[in-house]
Amino acid sequence: MGDDIMSYNGGVALAMKGKECVAIACDKRYGVQNKTIATNFTKIFQYVLFENVSFFLKVQTVSERLRFRTNLYELREQRKLKPLVLYNMLTNLLYERRFGPYFVYALVIGLDPKTGETYVFDSDNIGAISDNVNLATVGTASDYIFGLGELFFKPNMNADELFEATSQALLNGVDRDSASGWGAVVYVVEKDKVTVRELKGRQD
Amino acid sequence: MALASVLGFKSNDAFNRSLRCDKNDDTIDELCPKLNVENISQFITLPPYADPAKYLKMVSDNVDRVKIQFLKGTTTLAFKFRNGVIVAVDSRATAGGFIASGEVKKVIEINPYLLGTMAGGAADCAFWERVLARHCRIYELRNKEKISVAAASKILANMVFEYRGMGLSMGTMIVGWDKRGPGLYMVSDDGERISDNLFSVGSGSIYAYSILDAGYKYEMSTIDAIDLARRAIVHAAHRDAASGNIVRIYHMKETGWEKIEEKDTNDYMYQYREDKTMNF
């Protein structure tokens, strides 16, 4: 498995853009190096939609701390968060721990319901800011999923095509990584609804 | 040839030299020298430094940030029961986290009545078990009878013991049927050689052992034994990240080994979920 902390738990997430829709998908494994402890650990937390992989305890901590900040924001400003604001809050939170970092990689997606504008951002564990990209992957299987993602991605896909592309890229990518897999969950966010689908994957 | 020898014609080619009665064991081996510690450099390229054992130990001890760690990421198992020996293995090869292959043949068919399993370094297992096959064949030719499982496993254990500390990684089970009945020995890279009724080797062995210990009875029928072995590998494939893909099962009988099946573990997992023997 390797002895680096970012692959200690394993796990992977993928986000892809379509036309007025965004999809985020993650695997469901929770394990400690070679040992698989649970197969229902989805790593997607909903704010706008926000995703963490790699180190479970830190995932919970970062997720809870971010939730605290976003709740305060919404109370003070009396309005809902925009995806870009959430992303900047997250990268700020991560950089606060620059010299003793959280062991998480983050992936943020969002959709503006009025304009239909889509956002996909990713971040390393100290809060490096990325552009609004078409496709982003984080986790132990990210190298394998990137290749498949680039292959399946087409600009301006509709929600169904986007779901197919995301799920195929994820499912086939995790089959080459021993630390991720055991099923997958895909969230497709459109202007008026969020569709959650569970995928049947290899259970080994 | 017979006519030539009656007439006293002495030919000097290699075939005729080998036929001559004045040959004894040592001189036959000149044509194909035996692998031993003195002439090892003819067979294997040794590292170009004085004390390979000490130097190579450094590599696995993380000196200078170089660390090559051979982990036995696999699940192999074998057990004796009243109708012979069942051998079952997975087929995944991992290099760190990367799944290098999902179709590795981890059962090495040494000869029609001897099987060896592979755990640890694939190259180490494959090479040494092939050397073992050579020794077994020569034994059979010289002694006109099949080698016993005890002797075969002893040959392997002794060969590997000479390289103790040099970084070989091998956890293999030698399975066979000889005149004493079914034989099962576990041989590992530190020269350990033990015989028992039930073994499992590899990172997934902890999961396989629980399934095997729960269901093992020496008096099992063949169908039950195959089912137990299959379940053990499937459960190990599910929980262990370094095991999975295909399960291969062999049955060692008095007439030699028979390959029972080679199926995808994932299909079995969903089937076991259907009949509630597995939860996920």
pLDDT at B196 over 90: yes
CA distance A99 to B118: 44
Contact state of A2 with B238 under an 8 Å Cβ cutoff: no
Nearest chain A alpha carbon to B265? A204
User: Any bridge partners for residue A35, and if so which?
Assistant: A32, B240
Unique residue bearing structure tokens 């020496």: B218
Is A26 within 8 Å of chain B by CB? Answer: no
Residue B147, C-beta contacts closer than 8 angstroms, at least 6 positions apart: B114, B136, B139, B140, B178
- Choose the catalytic residue: B45, B74, B76, B277: B74
How far apart are alpha carbons A23 and A16 in whole angstroms?
A: 5
With a cut of 80, say whether residue B5 has pLDDT above it: no
From the candidates B66, B70, B94, B98, which should be mutated to test the interface with A, based on the most A CB atoms within 10 A? B98
Helices (H), A121-199: 142-152, 159-174
Could you say which DSSP state residue B22 is in?
Answer: T
The total of structural domains in chain A comes to 1
Q: Is residue A30 part of a domain?
A: yes
Which residues does residue B188 pair with via DSSP β-bridges, in sequence order? B171
Q: Say yes or no to pLDDT of B221 above 50.
A: yes
Residue B74 known to be catalytic: yes
Range of the domain at A59: 5-199
pLDDT one-digit tens code per residue, B23-37: 455 555 555 566 665
Is the pLDDT reported for residue B265 higher than 90? yes
B146: left (phi over 0), alpha (psi -120 to 50) or beta: beta
Neighbours of B103 (CB within 10 A): 10
Domain assignment present for residue A204? The answer is no
Tell me the sheet residues that pair with B110.
Answer: none
Per-residue pLDDT of chain A in tens (204 residues, 90 and over written 9): 566 788 888 889 999 999 999 999 999 998 888 899 989 888 887 655 555 443 344 577 888 888 899 899 989 999 888 888 888 999 999 999 999 988 888 888 888 888 888 999 888 888 898 889 999 999 889 999 999 999 999 999 999 999 999 999 999 999 999 999 999 999 998 888 889 999 999 999
The CATH number of the domain holding residue A178 is: 3.60.20.10
Confidence at residue A192, expressed as pLDDT on a 0 to 100 scale: 87
Q: What is the pLDDT of residue A54?
A: 36
pLDDT more than 90, % of chain B: 56
E strands, A18-141, where?
21-27, 30-32, 35-38, 44-45, 50-53, 105-111, 118-123, 135-139
Residue A71 lies in a domain: yes
In this complex, is the C-beta atom of B60 within 8 Å of any C-beta atom belonging to chain A? no
Q: Residue B197: which of B181, B184, B187, B186 has the closest Cα?
A: B184
pLDDT recorded at residue B175 = 96
pLDDT of residue A154: 94
**Which residue among B73, B97, B269 places its CB closest to the CB of A203?**
B269
> Which residues sit opposite B193 in a β-bridge?
B187
DSSP state, B255?
T
Long-range contacts of B11-18 (CB under 8 A, 24+ apart): none
Angle value at C-alpha A195, between A190 and A199, nearest 5 degrees: 130
Express each pLDDT in B158-172 by its tens digit: 999 988 888 888 899
Digit-coded pLDDT (tens) for B54-106: 656 555 555 454 455 555 789 999 999 999 999 999 999 888 788 988 898 99
Chain B within 8 Å of A84 (Cβ-Cβ)?
A: no
Is there a domain that residue A106 lies in? yes
CB atoms within 10 A of CB B210: 15
- B14 falls in which pLDDT band (50, 70, 90)? low
At residue B269, the 3 state secondary structure works out as helix
Does an H or E element contain B100, and which? strand B98-101
- Would you state the pLDDT for residue B66? 47
On whether any CB of chain B is under 8 Å from the CB of A203, the answer is yes
Most confident of A39-53, B36-50, B174-188: B174-188
User: CA–CA separation, B68 vs B56, rounded Å?
Assistant: 10
Q: Is A144 exposed, middle or buried (0-12, 13-18, 19+ CB in 10 A)?
A: buried
Of B37, B169, B171, nearest to B117 by C-alpha is B171
Q: What's the start-to-end Cα distance of chain B, in Å?
A: 71
Task: Provide the percentage of residues in chain B whose pLDDT is more than 70.
Answer: 76
Residue corresponding to tokens 């060969």: B159
Give me the pLDDT at residue B49, please. Answer: 64
pLDDT tens string B134-163 = 999 999 999 999 999 999 999 999 999 988
Supply the DSSP symbol for B243.
-
The pair of structure tokens assigned to B266 is 């994932």
Mean pLDDT of chain B: 84
Domain ranges of chain B: 76-278
User: In the structure encoding, which two tokens stand for residue B18, read together?
Assistant: 């080998």
Single pTM value for the model: 0.80
Is residue A172 within 8 Å of A192, Cβ to Cβ? Answer: no
The fold adopted by the segment(s) B76-278 is: Glutamine Phosphoribosylpyrophosphate, subunit 1, domain 1 (3.60.20)
- Pick the residue from chain A with its C-alpha nearest to B238: A204
Look at residue B17 in the predicted model and tell me its pLDDT: 60
> What is the rounded CA–CA span in Å between residue B25 and residue B23?
7
Check CB contact under 8 Å for A34 and B240: yes
Cβ-count burial of B201 within 10 angstroms (0-12 exposed, 13-18 middle, 19+ buried)? buried
